[in-house]
Amino acid sequence: MSFFSRKSGSTLKEEKDENLEDVRVDYLFSSVMRDVFVPEESIDLLIKTKTRKQKQDMITQFQKVGGSANPNLILTKIRDNDSSKNLEKLLSELKKMTRTYANGFFSYGGINTLLEVINRRCKKKTKDLEDMNIVIECLHCIQELFRYPV
């Protein structure tokens, strides 16, 4: 399984430790560290000094505690795997979003991600019910963004 492959969209909790590549663990770990405003030079040092298990524990802890404050994690999951489950999770986060979450969502390219998913699903030659459900989920997410007071 490659870090960049489309089928790898599961979360750390869903993947077995032995199946998760070191590159993916480092990527998720650095993403979590950035989201809690750790400086880049410190992130590099932490990646080199922490064990794989320590990194995975920190990622899991952040997903349990601070995942709702981190739009980058869910957007990364959607870019990896634009499933209904991931889009439903995003929609639930958007329904309770704060100004910080909204700013993070826009700065991480959330709108572009949703539009790319819609575009990709609509360009398929053969569309099935799953494709249309995913497009509708994306539209619900965009609709929720318009409901947010400016």
Structure confidence at residue 11 (pLDDT): 45
Token pair of 108, please?
């991480």
DSSP state of 112: H
Structure confidence at residue 40 (pLDDT): 85
Structure confidence at residue 115 (pLDDT): 96
Query: Per residue of the chain (150 residues), what is the pLDDT tens digit?
Result: 333 333 334 444 444 445 568 888 888 888 878 776 778 888 888 889 999 888 888 877 776 554 455 788 888 889 988 899 989 989 998 998 888 788 888 888 999 999 999 999 999 888 899 999 999 999 999 999 888 776
Structure confidence at residue 19 (pLDDT): 54
Distance, in Å, from the CA atom of 91 to the CA atom of 72, rounded to the nearest integer, reads 14
Structure confidence at residue 64 (pLDDT): 57
Please answer whether residues 148 and 102 qualify as being in contact, where contact means their C-beta atoms are separated by less than 8 angstroms: yes
- How many Cβ atoms from other residues are within 10 Å of residue 18's Cβ? 5
DSSP 1-62: --TT-GGG---TTTS-TTTS-HHHHHHHHHHHHHHTT--HHHHHHHHHHS-HHHHHHHHHHH
Structure confidence at residue 118 (pLDDT): 95
Token pair of 78, please?
């959607």
Structure confidence at residue 7 (pLDDT): 38
Long-range Cβ contact pairs of 55-59 (< 8 A, separation 24 or more):
55/25, 55/26, 55/28, 55/29, 56/12, 56/17, 56/20, 56/25, 58/29, 58/32, 59/12, 59/25, 59/28, 59/29, 59/32
Token pair of 32, please?
């979590």
